[in-house]
Amino acid sequence: MNIFKRKAGVISTAGILLILTGCLISGTFVLSVMIRDLQVSANGENYYINVDITEDQDWQDHQGNIKDIDLVGFELWATNNTGVANKFSAYVADSLSSLDSLSTRTEIEEHGILVLKDLPLKATGQTHITYGQSFKYIASLDKLKELAEVGKFKMFAVANESNINFNLDSVLVIVTFTAGT
């Protein structure tokens, strides 16, 4: 009977250690990137920005162990300066893509990947899209997850109407990922 109790104690202890070890080498992390004060205007074609999250400490700490990108969402504040309600969409391209700030709207729509569709802009004042609301505007979650794992990409904002002048006051991109060995 004592031998059985000892074996059960050893097995229980080993199980607890395995569980604790597993908890220490894997987990869920949140990576957030803030983009501020971007003006989208000119000829109504597009706005372009290079996005690089590889400098974020959490991304650097865990990029080699990322198992799954669980969720990608955002929180956005934008101010429409035209006084006319509008919508805009966002396209992305690989960081090595030939698309850049000189690309036309047609090139972006043909060669970029639509990731955010028809984000509304109030006619006057600031529009706020919360993190919870952001999910209904995501057009390609799989591509967003892939780009979040790579860490670098090109982004284009394209308005539905050609006469546009708005500021993206801030965009907080929130990526939730699981890392482990």
Residue 14, domain member (yes or no): no
Question: Looking at residue 98, which CATH number applies to its domain?
Answer: 2.60.120
Residue 81, domain member (yes or no): yes
Residue 9, domain member (yes or no): no
What is the per-residue pLDDT across 118-170, written as a single tens digit (0 to 9) for each?
Answer: 999 898 889 999 999 999 999 988 888 788 778 888 888 888 776 677 777 88
What is the per-residue pLDDT across 66-80, written as a single tens digit (0 to 9) for each?
Answer: 677 778 888 888 888
Nearest Cα residue to 75 out of 137, 140, 156: 137
Domain that holds residue 88: 27-179
Residue 56, domain member (yes or no): yes
Residue 19, domain member (yes or no): no
Residue 53, domain member (yes or no): yes
- The sign one gets for the Cα dihedral 57, 60, 63, 64 is negative
Residue 77, domain member (yes or no): yes
Residue 2, domain member (yes or no): no
* pLDDT category of residue 1 using cuts at 50, 70 and 90: low
How many domains does the structure of the chain reveal? 1
Nearest Cα residue to 107 out of 118, 95, 91, 94: 91
**pTM assigned to the model:** 0.72
